[in-house]
């Protein structure tokens, strides 16, 4: 298109302002192409069934496979197509009938959508470099103890920033946000290590090699978690294989995830 889309360095790749501007339109073209192929295949191969799932970048990839694989194993004639995108774009595609299900952070949603809980995981506090020199590190931190920190954030494309703001809004505490934005969860940790600000991450996105993240506890000393759900259209999910997958999410997935969590605790 006559302009650069990316700025590439030896450490990472970032969008140029032009790239950020055209990215939503590129996504629309790709989604339309996928829909065109699907519609063509549906006409030519009516017996071939497809489930189109959009996932937030924050969804734990390992758990995603565990949740879907049993259904695929028992239904080898049903294809599952995954698409990871900005959560706002995923919801728009769900409304437009271009997706059958969306997996993302639990939030308020339209009455025209049905939803079911998938799993939750602990939120961890990643302290900035200046806070890491303490000789004795606690096993966890309470929100009141970290309320005055400045936090580095990612764009609100995955649901993490929204969940972080909600975490502070619940006890009516002001969230101090760093003026810039990181492009990935890894950069959040890197910026915290540089002392730019602290960060909050789900456990699955925190680097185990850094080993500096601490669980966040509420007033009752219970761990603070972020919850994830599956959402689908009440009117659009009428095909038998889609209803069967919705039943799988409601009845089978909780047992799978619960078994994994029990095993990890033991």
For the chain, domains (ranges, CATH) are 6-120+227-265 (3.40.190.10), 121-225 (3.40.190.10)
**Which SS3 state, helix, strand or coil, does residue 189 take?**
helix
Contact 139, 214 (CB under 8 A): yes
In angstroms, how far apart are the furthest CA atoms of the chain? 67
pLDDT above 80: residue 174: yes
Token pair for residue 216?
Answer: 């966040």
pLDDT above 70 as % of the chain: 90
Q: Indicate the pairing of strand 214-217 with strand 113-126.
A: antiparallel
Strand partners, 150: 176
CB-CB neighbours of 135 under 10 Å: 4
Cα 216 from Cα 223, distance rounded (Å)? 6
Q: Is 179 left (phi over 0), alpha (psi -120 to 50) or beta?
A: alpha
What is the DSSP secondary structure assignment for residue 147, as one 8-state letter? T
pLDDT above 70: residue 184: yes
Choose the weakest-confidence range: 130-134, 189-193, 234-238.
Answer: 130-134
Condensed to tens digits (0 to 9), the pLDDT of residues 17-76 reads: 999 889 888 888 887 887 777 677 667 766 668 899 999 999 999 899 999 999 999 999
Condensed to tens digits (0 to 9), the pLDDT of residues 92-103 reads: 889 888 899 999
Strand partners, 226: 121
CB-CB neighbours of 237 under 10 Å: 18
Q: For the whole model, what pTM was predicted?
A: 0.77
């Amino acid at each position: 298109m006559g302009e650069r889309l990316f700025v590439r360095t030896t450490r990472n790749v970032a969008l140029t302002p032009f790239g950020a501007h055209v990215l939503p339109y590129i996504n629309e073209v790709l989604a339309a192409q996928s829909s065109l192929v699907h519609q063509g295949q549906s006409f030519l191969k009516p017996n071939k069934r497809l489930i189109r799932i959009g996932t937030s970048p924050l969804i734990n990839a390992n758990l995603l496979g565990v949740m879907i694989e049993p259904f695929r194993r028992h239904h080898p004639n049903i294809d599952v197509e995954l698409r990871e995108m900005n959560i706002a774009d995923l919801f728009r595609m769900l409304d437009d009938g271009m997706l059958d299900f969306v997996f993302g952070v639990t939030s308020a949603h339209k009455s025209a959508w049905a939803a079911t809980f998938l799993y939750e995981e602990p939120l961890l506090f990643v302290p900035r470099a200046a806070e890491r020199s303490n000789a004795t590190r606690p096993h966890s931190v309470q929100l009141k103890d970290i309320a005055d920190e400045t936090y580095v954030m990612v764009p609100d494309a995955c649901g993490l920033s929204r969940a972080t703001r909600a975490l502070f809004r619940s006890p009516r505490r002001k969230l101090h946000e760093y003026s810039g934005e990181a492009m990935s969860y890894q950069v959040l940790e890197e910026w915290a290590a540089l002392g730019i600000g602290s960060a909050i991450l789900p456990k699955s996105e925190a680097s185990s090699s850094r080993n500096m993240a601490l669980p966040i506890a509420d007033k009752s000393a219970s761990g603070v978690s972020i919850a994830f759900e599956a959402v689908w259209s009440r009117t659009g999910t009428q095909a038998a294989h889609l209803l069967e997958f919705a039943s799988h999410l409601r009845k089978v997935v909780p047992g799978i995830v619960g078994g994994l969590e029990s095993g990890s605790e033991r």
